[in-house]
Structure 1
Amino acid sequence: MRWQGLAPVMRPDAQWLLLGSFPGLASLKAQQYYGHPRNQFWRLVGDVRGVDLVSLPYEARLAALQDLRIALWDVISETEREGSLDSAIRRPDVSDLARLLRELPALRVIGFNGGTAGRLGQRLLGDLAKVYRVLVLPSSSPAHTMPYDDKLRAWRALNTVSGPPIRQE
């Protein structure tokens, strides 16, 4: 089956852009980023920023993310896939990351949620990757069985960027 991804969540003052690969079936059916109840994304981002995102309703989570100056999207905009695993992705259409980056003038950090997002996303960024702090983070997916504390340690690297954006025009 061919699936359409979710629209980006962003404001122009975002400093972080978090990119997944493509939503899983639970997320697509709910039309919510990281909609699987065992996905650790909301807990990880909340713990990194010191905000309880998990207890909020979905729309409030999105608003809180934007207030934290965090944008959210996926590197794949549309694909064929059976199930939710990245390994089952077939014939992906990639997202227009260059266009999105032009709409985020304050952006400093791009964090890829998992290896698939990181591999494809870095290819899409090309030379633009040199303009930002780029991190490939352990996947928040329940299929990635790394202990939570290890994932959180890696995700805390998002906080290490301070000062004005290093973007070059």
Structure 2
Amino acid sequence: MRLQGFPPVADPNCTTLVLGSMPGALSLTKLEYYGHPRNHFWPLLYAVFGGGAGPSDKYGERLSFALAHRIALWDVLAACERAGSLDAAIRRPEANDFVAFYNAYPAVERVFFNGQAAAELYRKRVLPLLQRSGAGGALRYGTLPSSSPARTMPFEAKLLEWRALADFQASRQ
């Protein structure tokens, strides 16, 4: 089955883009980035940026929290075929249009990959197009441990590495 991803969540103030590979099955059903209740993305983001009691139950409030911290969300892939939610099952991947994205959001300076699979897909599917177009030349990249429940790293260990988001944002002020 061909799966379609989501549009980006971004505004002109965003300086950081966090990229996943492709939303999982439950996220696609809920129409929410990181919609699986065991995915650590939202708890990590709230912990990194001092979100008090943790993520809101309201998806719109979670998105507003990310944008308030100048974090844009998107995925490397616009579409793919995949049974289940595992990145290893992705077939026939189609990358999002990053040339258009970086032209629309020129304040983005840093890209963090939510896991190794997102970084690898970007390297193979997106970087060659960016290099040919000349877009995104000044971007800096980092890879964070996947927030997916399939990544069996303890939350506290993930959080140590995810603090790089706040460190980068603090360096921009």
User: Which residue, out of 161, 166, 170, partners 1:154?
Assistant: 161
User: Counterpart in 1 of 2:172?
Assistant: 163
Q: Which runs of 5+ in 1 are unaligned?
A: 165-169
What's the counterpart of residue 102 of structure 1?
103
Counterpart in the other structure of 1:133: 140
Report deviation, 1:163: 3.3
Superposed displacement of residue 139, structure 1: 0.3
Q: CA deviation at 1:19?
A: 0.4
Give the distance between the partners of 1:129 and 1:148, measured in 2 at CA.
Answer: 32
The alignment status of 1:142 with 2:144, answered yes or no, reads no
In the other structure, the counterpart of 1:15 is: 15
C-alpha deviation, 1:129, in angstroms? 6.4
Write the distance in 2 (CA, Å) between the matches of 1:116 and 1:102.
25
- Counterpart of 1:82? 83
- Aligned residue in 2 for 1:70: 71
Deviations 1:25-73 (A, max 9, x none): 0000000000000000001111111125523400111122112211000
Q: CA deviation at 1:130?
A: 5.4
What secondary structure, in the 3-state scheme, does the structure 2 residue paired with 1:6 have? coil
Residue number in structure 1 paired with 2:29: 29
Q: Number of aligned residue pairs: give it.
A: 164
How far residue 102 of structure 1 moved from its aligned partner, in angstroms, is 1.4
1:122 aligned residue: 123
Q: What is the aligned partner in structure 2 of residue 167 from structure 1?
A: none
SS in 2 for 1:9: coil
What residue in structure 1 maps to residue 46 of structure 2? 46
Root-mean-square deviation (Å)? 1.6
The 8 Å contact of residues 99 and 136 in structure 2, kept in 1 or not, is answered as: no
Q: How many angstroms apart in 2 are the aligned matches of 1:55 and 1:12?
A: 24
Task: Report SS of the residue matched to 2:56.
Answer: coil
1:32 counterpart SS class: coil
Q: Which structure 2 segments of 5+ residues have no match?
A: none
Alpha-carbon separation, structure 2, partners of 1:2 and 1:142: 23
**Structure 2 counterpart SS, 1:19:** strand
8 Å CA contact retained: 1:40, 1:142:
yes
- Residues 114 and 144 (structure 1 numbering): CA distance in 2 closer, same or farther, change over 3 Å? same
TM-score, normalised on structure 2? 0.88
